[in-house]
Each structure stands twice: as structure tokens, then as C-alpha cells.
Structure 1
């Protein structure tokens, strides 16, 4: 599957305001920073999330055509913390199982006066297609195929900004199943826009992008790739998108690309370790790294709620 190119005309209105969040490719820096600033303001000095009433007159439908725990739950919590009426559509028993087309389902939900759709789907570009064909509803992409996962990338860069302040002098190492990762694709786009020039892709050759990656340094050796890094983002092995030949076996993968405390010493002493979850312990990260002092994985989860609240509030026209 090839990534789907997103036109900013599809997600910015004539006044340059965000009307959908479909992807981060080409999204202006000021739009990304606006989302980060709004999200940051929703977290107090103790790390607690605020509540608002900004979406009290709006309804949000969560439409997850792929399994999800963190993303679906944090979108639901984000909707409730902004006072939206949140609906989790039971897709397992929906009319799509009775041969109703997906677009007919979307039109039906719009007729129910839903204001926002949060969509996760295995098809690249599906949220974009919905945005082009369903008018008067804001679409938030919660992950489409291997294409994009914009809110995950935004919560990642928010977490990085909280720890590192600026992006232009950072060395960021992305480790693991890069080829199948929409998280990596959106994260790279966000970090480039924010000024990061040292982005390293570290993976077995079978899990690197097939296409050329100008401006990105590629490694097939973990120790070399993370040396001197400020940020290490370990990716989940996308088993549902991989074929058996992509890695020999999980133990061999861990021996070559699993992050351990010993390997972490190669990065900068104040390097942070990130992961989009769920973590495959003993495969992508050792438990003592996942639970260690340099891990910010749980902070990412909290930031995910703040970012998703911020996106909803901006789409509602509050900022």
C-alpha cells in the first residue's frame, strides 16, 4: 500500500483555519504549534488535565474500523473532558455488516446531527475520502493504513517539546518497524516541520522504507543509530501488516534492535525513550527501559488526551 497524499485544501478552510485533521504532511508550522500550545494549556503544573465546556453543544462519533485501546479510549475521554456528547459506534454490529456501504453509514450519521467523526481504518486515505464527500462534519484521522496518525505524532512532539524545548538541535532516533508505521510517517513530517534535521531511521533492511528517504539517515545497526541521540522512539512491530519474512523471529529481533539499559547508555545521558504503545516487552524494549527513569511512555498517554482535546476544540472554532 502506498501512502495517500493529503492536500491541505482538504483540511484548511478559505481563512486558513483547520476544518479537518487528516495528516501532517505540509501542514503549516503555525498550525502544528497552535495545537501544541492549546494542548499544553490543558495540562496544569502538576500534570493534571483540565476540563472544558467548549464542545457542550456538539456530538462526536468514534468510528474505529480497526482494533484500538489507547487511541479509542483517549479520544472518548477527550470528548467527555470537552463536554461533547460522545458516541462509540458499534461497528461490529453496524449496518455495514448488512452490506450498507461505508459512505451510506457516514451520511446516516451526519443525518443524526453528528458534528465530528473520529475515524480509524485500514485503508490509506479513507478519512480524506470521507472529508471530501461529507460536508458539514469535521473529520479527525485516528490512523489510516500505513499512511498517517496525526494525533499520535502531535502527542509525541508535545512530549518532546516538554522535555527538550526546541527541535532544531535535536537528534531523534526512530527504531523498529518503520515501513509499516503510520506513527513514524506522521512523526517525521511533524518533526521536519518543527525544524529537526537529524532524524535517524533504524531497522532491519526488511523493515525500512522501500522508497528513498532524502534528508533522513538510515541505519541497520541499533548501536550506531542511537549514539548521541536526544530522543529514541521505539515502534511497535506491526504484526498485522507484516509477513513472516520481515523478521527471522522475535528473539533475534530483540537481540539486534531491542532497546536495553546497556544500549541506552550510547545515547545522551538525558535522552528520553518513547513508544506509541502497546509495548511488546522483551521484543522492542526491555522492561527495565520501559519502566525506567528515561521512559516517558505514560506521559505520552496523558498528552494524547490533551492533544485530542485541543484538536477537537480548534475544529469547533474555539481558537
Structure 2
């Protein structure tokens, strides 16, 4: 994999959370916490990336990730360029690498990339010019590092910094979820006490991905006493592939209802990366209820992505 960290401990790119040192992860979490107020408005940090151009290079649709990256870059004073593959030369056959190089030639130095292919962002980072930084906004089924980071930030705010005391449950289509993989890596790095994974057998990943995880036999036992429940979106194409019989049956067996949530710890919290299929993987009473941190996740996305962009693009910070 492309080297993310240089000899001085500086994060050059953020491509994945695999192997990211705990100290680096915690530094990003602490910085994001400090940036929370600035993330939601204000101009105090507008000189941080002044004169730097950040492009959101998205080859897949996005609402939360793209919007929060754009806001994060703007809060830091960067010029922003929003690339849409459907209205670009990519629709005419131009490769992602040619697109990157042409935008680099125009002075763009920060790229936030979402791509449908596993490894696509790392390949672009390997070919990028010196001084160009790439942040992975989701590639294939493999990585979504900033989602993993913002989920950890949300958990820290609710449960404190000692993850060894936590029982965390991830529910749903883990096999095809880059969010779940990034969350699992981050939870392990932070020393989470117990990680449970539950979902249809056809939607569970390989044993290596589930290493050190508890895989319960039913939803009730999966929920017993957990401190946090991280629900995943059911991708409806799984029905077409025959991996899920029907939305109704999925909700019956794997949907988080208010009644089911009572099996968790009394102060358990609920997370979901969005978009949600209400009435399928999560009920309205839970998504909008007092234990839900789903909107806080969205808000934390701006602060977390500010911390990442500052880390990889603010040259002054590392020259002091």
C-alpha cells in the first residue's frame, strides 16, 4: 500500500486506517474535538489553507461525505472545486489519473476522492506529484477512513476515551461495507473491549475481517448489554442478488426497533452512517429517538474532515 506517513511522522495522505498508529488516530480525534465550534460556522480559521485548492473528485454519488468535505475545506479557507464524473470528461472515457494530472497542472494540491474500485485512491496517490495530498472518501468495499474517524469521535464524545470498557455492536451488510471495515480497524486500534458483528450469514465478511469479533447467533443476544449499536444501510441490490429474501423479512430479523434496543445497556447509543432505509434496518422511533447520535455524526463529519485536511495540507503546521 502507498505509504501514508513520512519519516517525520507526518500524515502525507489518508488512504485507510489499516496500520495507522494509535497516536496518529488519537491526534486526529483530539484536533477534531477542538475544531467543533469552528466546524459549524465562523471565520477564525480561514487563513489555515488560504491559497490552497481542494478538489472533491467523486466518481460515485454522495451527500454527507461530499458536503462535509466541501464545508471543511471552506472553513479552513481553501478554494474548493467540486468534480462530478457524470458531467466531466470521465463520461467521455478520460481516466481518473488523467483527470488528476490535469487538475494538478491547474494548481490543485488537495484531492478528496471517492471511487467504486478498491485501491483506486491509493493508485492515484502513488502517481501524484510531490506536494499533492489525497484523502480517501470511500473506495470500493475496502476503506472509508474519515467515516471511521468521525464514528470514533462520536463514540468518544458519548462514552469517553477508554474504549477498553466498551461493548460495540455492528449490524447489517458488513460484507459489502467499507464503513464497517474502517470502523472495525479503528475500534481495534483504540482497544475496544468487545466488538460484536451481526447480520445475515450471506452478508458477513471473511474470517480475517471478523478476527477477534464475537458473532452472535441472534439479534437479541447480539444486543444484550452493548454500549453502542452501529447500524449499516442495507443495499437493496442485495435483494436482486438473492442475498436477502425481502425487506420485510430483513426488518423482522435484523431491523433495530425501540423494543429491541431495550436489550442494550440503558445508556446505549445508536449510530448510522446514512443514508438510512427507515423501516428496514432502523425504525423511526430509534433513528429520531433520544439514544440516536446520527445527526451528531453528520455534524462531526465537518470537524473530523477539517482535522484531516489540516493535517495533510497545512505545511506551516509541520514546519514550526
Question: Which bracket does the TM-score occupy, shorter chain normalised?
Answer: over 0.9
- Check conservation: 1:82, 1:309, Cα contact below 8 A: yes
Q: Does 1:262 align with 2:259?
A: yes
* Cα distance in 2 between the residues matched to 1:49 and 1:156: 21
1:29 is aligned, of 19, 22, 35, to 22
Deviation per CA, 1:222-263: give whole Å up to 9, x if none: 111111000000001123577531111011000001001110
- Check conservation: 1:205, 1:220, Cα contact below 8 A: no
The CA RMSD over aligned residues, in Å, is 1.6
Q: Does 1:234 align with 2:231?
A: yes
Count matched residues: 311
Q: Unpaired runs of 5+ in structure 2?
A: none
Structure-2 change in CA distance of 1:162 and 1:174 (3 Å):
same
Structure-2 change in CA distance of 1:255 and 1:141 (3 Å):
same
* Cα distance in 2 between the residues matched to 1:164 and 1:229: 12
Give the match for residue 141 of structure 2: 146
Pairing of 1:91-240 with structure 2 (within 5 A): 91-135=85-129, 136-165=131-160, 166-212=162-208, 213-240=210-237
- Check conservation: 2:110, 2:313, Cα contact below 8 A: no
* Cα distance in 2 between the residues matched to 1:271 and 1:305: 24
1:14 is aligned, of 7, 19, 22, to 7
Per mean C-alpha deviation after superposition, the further-off stretch among 233-242 and 85-94 is 233-242
- Check conservation: 1:259, 1:286, Cα contact below 8 A: yes
Q: Unpaired runs of 5+ in structure 1?
A: 1-5
Q: Secondary structure of 2:36's partner? A: coil
Per mean C-alpha deviation after superposition, the further-off stretch among 78-87 and 235-244 is 235-244
- Alpha-carbon distance, 1:22 to partner: 0.2
Structure-2 change in CA distance of 1:315 and 1:149 (3 Å):
same
- Check conservation: 1:78, 1:306, Cα contact below 8 A: yes
- Check conservation: 1:117, 1:138, Cα contact below 8 A: yes
- Alpha-carbon distance, 1:50 to partner: 5.3
Q: Secondary structure of 1:172's partner? A: strand
- Check conservation: 1:167, 1:196, Cα contact below 8 A: yes
- Check conservation: 2:238, 2:244, Cα contact below 8 A: no
Pairing of 1:253-292 with structure 2 (within 5 A): 253-292=250-289
- Check conservation: 1:159, 1:300, Cα contact below 8 A: yes
Give the match for residue 3 of structure 1: none
* Cα distance in 2 between the residues matched to 1:40 and 1:241: 37
- Alpha-carbon distance, 1:98 to partner: 2.3
* Cα distance in 2 between the residues matched to 1:41 and 1:214: 33
Q: TM-score, normalised by structure 2?
A: 0.93
Pairing of 1:25-104 with structure 2 (within 5 A): 25-44=18-37, 48=40, 51=43, 52-53=45-46, 54-104=48-98
Give the match for residue 316 of structure 1: 313
- Alpha-carbon distance, 1:221 to partner: 1.2
* Cα distance in 1 between the residues matched to 2:188 and 2:197: 14
- Alpha-carbon distance, 1:49 to partner: 5.0
Deviation per CA, 1:112-163: give whole Å up to 9, x if none: 1101100000100111000101122100000000000000000000000001
Structure-2 change in CA distance of 1:77 and 1:225 (3 Å):
same
Q: TM-score, normalised by structure 1?
A: 0.94
- Alpha-carbon distance, 1:56 to partner: 1.1
- Alpha-carbon distance, 1:105 to partner: 1.1
